[in-house]
Amino acid sequence: MPNPEIRTLLIAALGGEGGGVLADWLVLCARQAGLAVQATSVPGVAQRTGATSYYLEFSTAPWTDPQPPVLALSPAPARVDVVVASELLEAARMMERGFVTPERTVLVASTSRVYTTFEKMQPHDGRYDAQRVQDLSSVLARRSIWMDMANIVQTHRTVLSAAMFGALAGSGVLPWSRAVCEQVIQASGKGVQASLAGFAEAYDQAQHGHSMPAPEQDADAPPPDAVRFTSGLPQAMRTLAGHGALRCLDYQDEQLARDYVDRLQALVALSPEPGPAHLTLWQETARHLALWVCYEDIIRVADLKTRPERYAQVRQEARAGSGDIVRITEHFKPGIEEIASILPGALGHWLLRRCAPRHWSLHIRSSSLWGYLMLRSLAALRPWRRRTLRHAQEQAVRDAWWQALCQLAPHHPEWGTVLARLPQVLKGYGETQTRGRLRYEKVWSAHVEPALRGQTIGSAETAAFLEALQSALSDLPERHPSPATSHRTVLWLQPQAPDRAPLSTAKETSP
């Protein structure tokens, strides 16, 4: 009688996600079914809590040969039958290493993300394209099953190993029944009911070939609450503009939302015969104008940190019960610039002149009455925001950008799209914000100012502008800015020098 087939299974998980627990459960199931089984783990160091791979080989039927099988200790590319990944980028890593093949491998993976340090440190949107990874799996895997395992874990307050176990069992790749899996979970004696509930939902989703949840509404339709703002805009840009208007409404008031939409309508009106390039221009403008108008300041941070939904999210992430006490401590490090930014213009300038740059380290317990009231007092300054120094500074530079956009973009939409994306350079706080302003001014001086003076704009100028923007977004921190450029950034934080016109005037348009 021939020996049964040997099946190989690779688990790709992050530290603390229960990959070892899942491997133990699979070994116990195989032993209860009388199968030959061997499991090994390969701990590794990664950017996200440490990635660990668990590798199992087991027979698909009871082993009757007196000679035990020879099983491998580690996976080999193109020789893995099943890959289960706890996170989307871990699935991509397994595909990159050649463990997923179209002739052999069933891929079971989660669509949830734990962002890498490299993704977080990018000045622009540095996230990997999730849809591209899923599309690639349809080519590289014999069969792929995707589901949001993190959502299952949160819904049933269980562990990720239970969701991965259910997804594996539901995919039909395990040579034992569902009842054996559930018996092993029950025998563990820890969080049994929650683990069984998470196992059952993942099992059902895998059985039905679940991939991504269907959207609740048309992706091209604007949010229902934003229709009153976006009805006068072209249909193709109403979704982005709608989200932008709602962001402005949440950030400040209805007047800011209407001013935002009025600007977009004015830009659209400047192009009587728009083409596809104009549509891209409008969409990018809607995105980046909303982000710039709703810049992050102390008032905004205090508001977001004291919202009821934020406390509910923290309790959910901590898996706190209704009777559990959760204490939340906020870590702040404000500097003179941040304090001056929420003062009236004259007072803010005076403070910057009189005080040397410094920072304070503050730990505020927002879950206490005193800490909550302190942050809510800052959040209550929202009606005052339009009178602050920071608002005047941002508005001056933003108006110069907007005037250049309206003047040049309708006639050169490809070039204008790059200009619409230029505000991406302005990010963060403190030194990060200062570096962003330096880079913004550098790109503006090299590419926007010549165009405003009448320089010809063609494909070469557009390519050079785009290359400069990409370079500004990817440059390493400039610890020692050159004297030629560092003095200009002071204009964002200090009073205007008496012999130099403000940046927002028509005579001096460089921000």
Q: How far apart are CA 470 and CA 316, in angstroms?
A: 38
84, containing H or E segment: strand 82-85
- Cβ atoms within 10 A of the Cβ of 351, count? 16
Q: How far apart are CA 202 and CA 167, in angstroms?
A: 5
Non-local (6+) Cβ contacts of 240 within 8 A are 283, 286, 287
Q: Is the pTM of this model over 0.85?
A: no
pLDDT tens for each residue of 33-86: 999 999 998 765 544 455 678 999 999 998 888 888 889 888 999 999 999 999
- Cβ atoms within 10 A of the Cβ of 228, count? 14
Q: How far apart are CA 139 and CA 385, in angstroms?
A: 52
Coil, helix or strand for 185? helix
Residue 442 has pLDDT above 90, yes or no: yes
Q: Tell me the domain boundaries of the chain.
A: 6-207, 298-387, 388-511
Distances (CA, A) of 208 to 107, 145, 165: 15, 10, 16
For residues 311-333, average pLDDT: 88
| Per-residue pLDDT, 372 | 95
Q: How far apart are CA 207 and CA 170, in angstroms?
A: 5
Considering the four listed CATH numbers 3.30.750.24, 3.40.920.10, 3.30.530.20, 3.40.50.1100, the one that applies to the domain covering 6-207 is 3.40.920.10
pLDDT tens for each residue of 344-392: 999 999 998 998 888 888 999 999 999 999 999 999 999 999 999 999 9
Secondary structure string (H, E, C) spanning 398-415: HHHHHHHHHHHCCCCHHH
Residue 157 has pLDDT above 80, yes or no: yes
Distances (CA, A) of 383 to 3, 254, 342, 387, 399: 77, 12, 12, 9, 21
**Percent of the chain's residues with pLDDT above 90:** 62
